[in-house]
Amino acid sequence: MIWLFDYDLTLYGEEERYVLDSLDKRIALFVQKTVGGDFENATRIRKDYLVRFGTTLSGLMAMNGTDPDDFFDFIHEPEYLIYPKEAPQKLALLRSLDGPRYVFTNGRHDWSEAGMAHMKIDSAIDAVFDLKMMDWEGKPHVSAYEKMERWLERRHGNVNRREIVLFEDSLRNLEPAHARGWTTIFVNPNVEAPAWVDFHIPHLLNLHDVTRHLTPET
Query: Of 32, 10, 8, which Cα lies nearest the Cα of 184?
Result: 10
pLDDT at 77 exceeding the cut of 70: yes
Q: Following CA atoms 99, 108, 147, 158 in sequence, which dihedral angle do they give, to the nearest 10 degrees?
A: -20
Average pLDDT rounded to a whole number, residues 162-179:
97
In whole angstroms, what is the distance from residue 3 CA to residue 124 CA? 11
Per-residue model confidence (pLDDT) at position 192: 95
CB 204 within 8 A of CB 187: yes
Collect all residues with Cβ–Cβ distance below 8 Å to 196 and sequence separation of at least 6. Answer: 175, 178, 184
Average pLDDT, the chain: 95
Collect all residues with Cβ–Cβ distance below 8 Å to 74 and sequence separation of at least 6. Answer: 26, 29, 30, 33
CB 162 within 8 A of CB 218: yes
What value, to the nearest 5°, has the Cα angle with vertex 10 and ends 62 and 42? 35
Q: How far is CA 56 from the centre of its chain?
A: 14
Percentage of the chain lying above the pLDDT 90 cut: 93
Average pLDDT rounded to a whole number, residues 77-98:
96
For 74, list phi and psi in degrees, rounded to 5: -75, -50
pLDDT at 193 exceeding the cut of 80: yes
In whole angstroms, what is the distance from residue 32 CA to residue 28 CA? 6
Average pLDDT rounded to a whole number, residues 85-108:
96
* Strand 127-129 relative to strand 164-168, pairing: unpaired
Per-residue model confidence (pLDDT) at position 217: 59
pLDDT at 215 exceeding the cut of 80: no
pLDDT at 218 exceeding the cut of 60: no
Per-residue model confidence (pLDDT) at position 214: 84
Count of helix runs (H) and strand runs (E) in the chain: 9, 6
Per-residue model confidence (pLDDT) at position 18: 96
Query: Of 85, 73, 161, which Cα lies nearest the Cα of 116?
Result: 85
The tens digit of pLDDT for each residue in 124-170 reads: 999 999 999 999 999 999 999 999 999 999 999 999 999 999 999 99
The tens digit of pLDDT for each residue in 100-129 reads: 999 999 999 999 999 999 999 999 999 999
Per-residue model confidence (pLDDT) at position 66: 96
Q: Looking at 102-106, 137-141, 177-181, 186-190, which range is the least confident one?
A: 137-141
In whole angstroms, what is the distance from residue 211 CA to residue 69 CA? 36
pLDDT at 55 exceeding the cut of 90: no
Q: Is the pTM of this model over 0.85?
A: yes
